[in-house]
Amino acid sequence: MRAVTTVVVRVPALWGLLRRPVAANFDRLAAGWDASRVDERRLGAIGAALAAVGPAPARALDLGTGSGAIARKLSERWPEAEVTGVDVSSQMIAEARRLSSSVRQTFTVADAARLPFPAGTFDLVALNNMIPFFDELARITARGGSVAIAYGLGAATPIWVPLDRVERELARRGFEAFERFDVPPGLALLARRPA
């Protein structure tokens, strides 16, 4: 996944060639994902970034939701928010639906490079251990909204983009007010889109 991430961040158009094998890989991992890879230690950085979000979002997106761990955190933090989780893996979406903790959560199979939502749909977009498609992040984030990007094992995360690069890419697309969070072993960045 490190090689895929590096290639796709440099040349997003190559995602079309890599999407199917990545989805198949995560389909194989879905059933045991929470038991083997989701724990509070690995969620600390994204949790710190979410704690700094304000005001409360009405609509939040967990992009690359996997088994829905971050969607569940979003619903716990903001019970009135409509939370949507998307993932390219149909089996991960099945797990997320099975583990769902709120009627205000919806999960759908979708490609993060071309999301099926109108521009400016979400007040908050969260990515935890996910390849960021920067143009699409800018398109779907509402004015005054936030993007939280975290890597649960910091630079050791298989899907990893250095935060300096993330910040530069988001700044080029109009984001500002960057905050970084270092919660070992993870790292996160919170960016806001001007109102």
Half-sphere exposure at residue 93, Cβ-oriented, CA atoms within 13 angstroms = 16
Of 129, 110, 137, nearest in space to 43 by CA: 129
Question: Between the CA atoms of 69, 75, 77 and 79, what dihedral angle is there, to the nearest 10 degrees?
Answer: -170
Q: Is the pLDDT of residue 183 over 90?
A: yes
Q: State how far the Cα of 20 lies from the Cα of 41, in Å rounded to an integer.
A: 30
Q: Peptide bond before 184: cis, by omega within 30 degrees of 0? A: no
Main-chain phi, psi angles of 39, to 5 degrees = -150, 160
Domains of the chain from N-terminus onward? 2-192 (3.40.50.150)
Q: State how far the Cα of 70 lies from the Cα of 116, in Å rounded to an integer.
A: 20
pLDDT in tens, 12-71: 999 999 989 998 888 887 887 666 666 677 899 999 999 999 999 999 999 999 999 999
pLDDT of residue 38: 65
pLDDT of residue 37: 67
pLDDT in tens, 62-75: 999 999 999 999 99
pLDDT in tens, 132-164: 999 999 999 999 999 999 999 999 999 999 999
